[in-house]
A and B are shown apart, each in its own frame.
Chain A
Amino acid sequence: MTDASLPAPGVQNAAPARPRWQVLLVRPETGTLLLLVGAIIVAANLSPFFSDLRFILESSTYYMEFGLVALVLTLVIISGEIDLSPAAMMALSACVFASLFQAGLPIGLAMVAGVATGAALGAFNGFLVVVLQLPSIIATIGTLTLFRGLSQVLAGDRSISGFPAWFMGIDWRTVGIVPYPVIGFTLAALALAVLLGMTVWGRQIYQIGVSEIAARHAGVRVRRIKFGLFVAMGVTSALAGLLTASRLASVRYDMATGGELQMVLMVMLGGTYIFGGRGGVLGTFLAAWLLVIIATGMNVANIVVTSQLVVMGLLLIGSIIATNAIYARTQR
């Protein structure tokens, strides 16, 4: 990492450091923040509901599930890999959980089994990428299809429900006016931001994304870290799957279909570089809220869900183009 604001000792006539406001302005998170503020202003003019914080928080829980996974996906993409299978992992681990519960296992044990399934699925992705050295972008397309298929085998086309009351409706439980999933998402974002920004381990993730070969020569345990990240993806996806199961009070094989788009969209909108090495958790955190505002705004404005697909697709393409342009300008 080169830092333009620190004068290099012993170098004469070094280029003057960029002013702090310029450095801040070219950070992609700044763009996300500006978009977020803009979206809130537009949405508030669309509907009086928007001045109601409680309403926004209530409608955000759906996106918190994807947001939680997107936080970990940010680390994966910074390390130069990608995982397109988390939505399918959500479905499969939730199906395992629900099937075991239906087979008579106590719900606590079934939840543990669901999370363990997620860990195993993530480890399988990690095995494919780290041990067999398949390109993650295409290998996880294979596992996406496989995991979704296995959920279908497990659950068929029925929906599994009948969970005890304490398990259901986590999105309706609040501290003050803040629902549990929002608190979980915020805490996870804080923890990961500290991990990524302030620990050796976090800096090593950036190092791997900038140059894997250099990282290996510098003694970074590249394979171990990448494997760990994929397992973390699996565990987080399983937790998100349980959150979804609690919110919907039922589990189907098609849970979170197409969710990979939303997750990648959050990471890209947050300004993380698709080729790795740059980005951060803060951007993804802001981008998740941006999506909440945009989606809720479209719902309030009576734009049908199917047309929202167009907006999501355009946003994804627009955000990669913009992020790429910003990094191309600052990269020499």
Chain B
Amino acid sequence: METSGHGGGIAVADPRPQPPRTRPPTTPDYDDDIVRLFFNATVLWGVVGMLVGVLIALQLAWPAANGGVPWLTFGRLRPLHTNAVIFAFTGNICFTGIYYSMQRLLKTRMWNDTMSQLHFWGWQSIIVAAVITLPLGMTQAKEYAELIWPIDVLIAMVWIVFAINFFMTIARRKVQHIYVAIWFYISFVITIPVLHIVNSLALPATLARSYPAYAGLTDGLVQWWYGHNAVGFFLTTPLLGLMYYFLPRAAERPVYSYRLSIIHFWALVFLYIWAGPHHLLYSALPDWSQTLGMVFSIMLLAPSWGGMLNGLLTLRGAWDKVRTDAVLKFMVVAVSFYGMATFEGPMMSIRAVNGLAHYTNWVIGHVHSGALGWVGMLTFGVLYWLAPRLWNRPLAKPNWPTTHFWLATIGIVLYTVSMWAAGLMEGLMWRAVDDMGQLRYPNFTEIVNQLMPFYWMRLAGGVLYLAGAIMMAWNFILTARGGVNREPSGDVSLPTQERAHV
């Protein structure tokens, strides 16, 4: 294993006692104000997005929960939930982690503070616009691309600001080689605008309504090329970048394998793009296209597990810390769920399995094992690691993260198990045929009503997960009260015993 030769970023490689690391006089003055802004936004929108999720989960179990109000109906809030957790919660944690880690990895301040601020406020205004327009029913009806065209234009403009600032910062780096986390960030910064612009091409009819440049199955293919790669390049690659920075920092171990990171990076960015048609299996999309989607989805297992293994094996020799350090607990469970979700995904892409799973709650369970398990848990781990460093004081409630961890973990288990069961059940009931060749359950609502216990169970899981997130938010509010502690700590990172741990 070539370990410490891996980039210039991970300083804490040697487990042996080391002299206290003080800031060398040449260390640039990093912009951590922008990191704190994105940090706060992550926490805020995370709670909001999960709250909307809990509400619509309740509506499936108890339809009257929309109160008869048009803008609280499931059809309008479901896009708000998905957009909030993807672009607001996940987006903001990606930016939090990128702004924190890239300055340190490249040993330079962000190129332009104004552009950083423009990026932050632009992104938040996009989210606020989404919170207003989606409940009003202003939508393009393409999943995770529902936002109306003026907001789409704003997204593209804000992203360009971010990309220029990002690449200029890299150009002005004080280290020669870029670390693996930065590779993943680069793929994120490049791919998202490509997906967003191609999928959003549309002709406006009014300010709030437009019709896509593509029609029918072509529109469907473009959408799922976008949709699947939004998962790939918004929910996976930037977070793998965060994993490559924050997991070794938290574990105080170097990344397990440099070669593995090269192979799985290039394989991942190349293979991911092909997998979109697995969302359209058994459609009238050409067979060769469906087959490509299926085959590449299965191949995707290899680079995905490459990333998982590289993450988990980074903990070799540090597993005792997982027992005591809540940050590592979150990260280990996150990487494990990444492995599980990326095993389940290829399996569900197999035509025969997809025939059963497609359109059912199984897909919802799959998505949430990735979203709650991988994205959510990694985010919580990163946030708990960052908070004491960003405010320069220990967490106000150092024991709460462990409670949060268990609430979240039990919540995910309830969620995924109930959705697997519900998905299998409805999938099998939809296709059940009796000896006479007739449908065994011709009445659709009969099947729907069989799912009720699972919908309640899923709601319970979601409530536990949300409760943990609220606990975290409260902890951060208490920690950040009084603003940033400007007392010099004499050290870039806080000593271990001041970190959040039990």
**A, B bound:** no
